Amino acid sequence: MPLLEVDNVQVHFPVKQTALGRFHKSVKAVDGVSLTVEEGEAVGLVGESGCGKTTLGRAILRLLDPTGGHLRFAGEDITRMKPRELRSRRRQFQMIFQDPFSSLDPRLTVGESIGEALDIHRLTPERSARRERLGQLLESVGLRAEHADRYPHEFSGGQRQRVGIARALAVEPRLIVCDEPVSALDVSVQAQVINLLQDLQRERRLALLFISHDLAVVEHLCSRIAVMYLGRIVEFGPARDLCKTPKHPYTQALLSAVPVVDPDSKRSRIILGGDVPSPIDPPSGCPFHPRCPVAEARCRTEVPALREISPGRQAACHLA
Amino acid sequence: MSEPLLAIRDLQLDFRTGEGWARVVDGVSLTIQVGETLGLVGESGCGKSVTALSISRLLPTPPARYAGGSIQVQGRDILTASSKELRTVRGGVVSYVFQEPGASLNPVFRVGNQILEALQLHQPTRAHDDEVVRLLKLVGIPAPESRARDYPHQLSGGMQQRVMIAMALASEPKLLVADEPTTALDVTIQAQILELLLDLKRRMGMAVLLITHNLGIVGDLADRIAVMYAGQVVEEAPARELLQNPRHPYTQALMNSVPELGHPADRLRTIPGTVPAPGQWPTGCRFAPRCPVARPDCATHPPALLAIQSNHQVRCPYWNS
Amino acid sequence: MVEVLDSPYIRTARAKGLSEGAVLFKHGLRNALIPVVTILGMDVAFLLGGVLFVESAFALLGIGLLAVQSVFNLDVPMIMGTVLFSAVIVVGANLIVDLMYRWIDPRIKSAH
């Protein structure tokens, strides 16, 4: 049984259109997404702005409510669970955010921020045990126990991100949703944080849902990758395979757009025309067809379903 | 050899901090010839952006202070130029494209008007709507006539950056300084903009100074690459040479710490420690505390830039280890 | 205004070669006006409040004095009248401010 099951989840936001406040349209941020994450597995969720990956990440943690579909964690349906029941379940899934500068309360010391999690779930009622646990947590992310008494502004971006990781780890979750955790960091610091996440994942059999726009990082860290476009998954499969032989035209374009250092690498860049579309007015048929270099007549009218094209590989394309 | 378009010689720049002045750029020398593209690579805090802003003297002084060196654009000394001279250089010779196009365009003016303004300043005979439309077309904006009447917030990030490029080109500059032009953009849009810059560069014969922390994008556009660390240039070479044979331990470590698509490694090779902030630079070689091949005398003898080949310079005496 | 002058678009304006004057007045001012205009709207309400005291103190024949006198005389219709009048002025001023926003800042226009 997978640890996390996302079953045709939808997150639609109604948008006011008339002066009377009647809701005409909705922003279909997530429009029928299904995926699974096994215990101890790192799954990557890749896409560009507006694809819905952040919204999906938050919906999975019930930070937002899905407007359709089901979410199952360790077999239990948590889609409509009431806050009180959900609270005890929340220990098992945590989040790390993108911006290390705004995700920590500047008025709390680092120890207080992390300790809050311990207190909410009543994990260390004794002060001495709490102090010790804080020290352990800080050291497991490469900081020192003394850092617990410092304020966020005294740390660098990379260190703050480590604090965020320590906070997520404090409650010993089984799954951590990482929302672009390294995008705001310098290149050399990114590598450190990526290695840290990888180590923690392996040591503790932690499942990760790694949300990012950076395919190179995702290929490195994850065993399976889901590519999102305009609220839907357009391709899903094992990381190495997907990156080597992508089946969906969008994945192909995305891969060819990733900057590569080697000046000799012979690759023809697929340059997509147009802009990343807005989820308010999605195109008819296949959402990618206006920018697709190989679109056919069928693509304008029929929405391609995400189907299995080979064992373990799914793609939503008429031509795959 | 003809006179370079841009010649920065031994530039020294300080910034005011809480406790006095901290050196941010420490003896940087760079030259760009007419039509050449130089990539300036480094992480945040290395001084690349302030060096670039200095070319048109765009840094307010205070809190900045020029402590030494010179900047010459077409032979004119920028640091001592009058404001009148500066205004002809800004836009007319050197144009900028910044990192966040949404914030770099004035939100209360229409996009077409902002481009028109640049034309009025430097190319007054061509300052009319047709020219604005031509420029928008040149940078690949569809339906340019109606787009010109849009406000910046009505355009996507990629479009905004194209507008900025159009505005920068309006004045027919000899040098385009692009400071992290694609960092804030999505990857597929990044590819579009880089392709556009490459095309424009070829067509217009402009020189380009491309500043970035991403070694991947610099390879396609740059003729030469300079790598900066802690206020200094630590390596400089023709693009291909630097990317294939990096000699400075920092350049090598930087390249090794980035995951490469299609070349999966088990673990990323990281650089221990963090980049030292200005004012807290170690004595001797500034990279020594983090360097995998550091020797004892690295901490006491600051290395000079050595020429290991006619066009490849490295700031490390042990580059061959 | 100080905050506005730190903005990236001001840097762009300078980079284009605009004179400092143009940068300040053309590019900076309109953006700096937005919060100023808000305060002006609020000021109208405060001014009206002050009018009561000023006119009483200097025995100036105006709405303020009328309002004060009607309260002392328990002249209810007049009290209602003056309050209504003041309310109309305050609402009117804020309406003008809102309309000015739409003129000054195009981002607000398209939010509707």
The string of pLDDT tens digits covering residues A9-37 is 999 988 766 666 666 778 888 999 999 99
Identity of the residue in A243, A244, A271 whose CB atom sits nearest the CB atom of B192: A271
Q: What are the percentages of helix, strand and coil residues in chain A, rounded to 5?
A: 35, 25, 40
Tokens of B163: 């507008």
What span, in angstroms and rounded, lies between the C-alpha atoms of A258 and A292?
18
Q: What residues of chain A lie within 8 A of the CB of B48, using their CB?
A: none
Identity of the residue in B159, B191, B261 whose CB atom sits nearest the CB atom of A269: B191
What span, in angstroms and rounded, lies between the C-alpha atoms of C61 and A18?
47
CB atoms within 10 A of CB A302: 13
Q: What percent of chain B has pLDDT over 70?
A: 99
Amino acid of residue A217: V
CA dihedral sign of residues A202, A203, A209, A213: negative
B–C CB contacts, 8 A cutoff, strictly below: 73
Alpha-carbon distances, residue A57 vs A79, A158, A164, C86 (angstroms): 14, 22, 16, 52
For chain A, the chains sharing at least 3 beta-carbon pairs closer than 8 angstroms are B
CATH class for domain B1-93+175-184+204-260+267-283? Answer: alpha beta
Q: Provide CATH 3.40.50.300 ranges for chain B.
A: 1-93+175-184+204-260+267-283
pLDDT at C112: 45
User: Which of B177, B203, B202, B205 shows the shortest CA–CA distance to B97?
Assistant: B177
Does ipTM come in above 0.85?
Answer: no
The string of pLDDT tens digits covering residues B180-219 is 998 888 888 888 899 999 999 889 899 999 999 888 888 8
User: Which of A301, A80, A197, C13 shows the shortest CA–CA distance to B109?
Assistant: C13
Contact C106 B107 (CB under 8 A): yes
Amino acid of residue B251: T
Question: How deeply is B121 buried, as exposed, middle or buried, from its count of CB atoms within 10 A (0-12, 13-18, 19+)?
Answer: buried
Token look-up 């005496």 returns: B317
The string of pLDDT tens digits covering residues A288-315 is 998 898 888 899 898 898 899 888 899 9
Contact B260 A192 (CB under 8 A): no
For chain C, the chains sharing at least 3 beta-carbon pairs closer than 8 angstroms are B
Identity of the residue in C14, C27, C105 whose CB atom sits nearest the CB atom of B90: C14
Cα A34 to its chain centre, rounded Å, is 14
Given a cut of 50, whether residue A269 has pLDDT beyond it is yes
- Angle at which helix B83-92 crosses helix C8-15, to 10 degrees, equals 100
What span, in angstroms and rounded, lies between the C-alpha atoms of A84 and B65?
59
CB A235 within 8 A of CB A248: yes
Alpha-carbon distances, residue B140 vs B112, B136, B184, B282 (angstroms): 15, 7, 19, 47
Tell me how many degrees the CA angle B150-B153-B158 measures, rounded to the nearest 5. Answer: 90
Contact B91 C16 (CB under 8 A): yes
What span, in angstroms and rounded, lies between the C-alpha atoms of B237 and B183?
24
Share the mean pLDDT of chain B. 90
Contact A269 B269 (CB under 8 A): no
The string of pLDDT tens digits covering residues C55-94 is 888 878 887 888 888 888 888 888 888 888 888 888 888 8
What span, in angstroms and rounded, lies between the C-alpha atoms of B223 and B219?
8
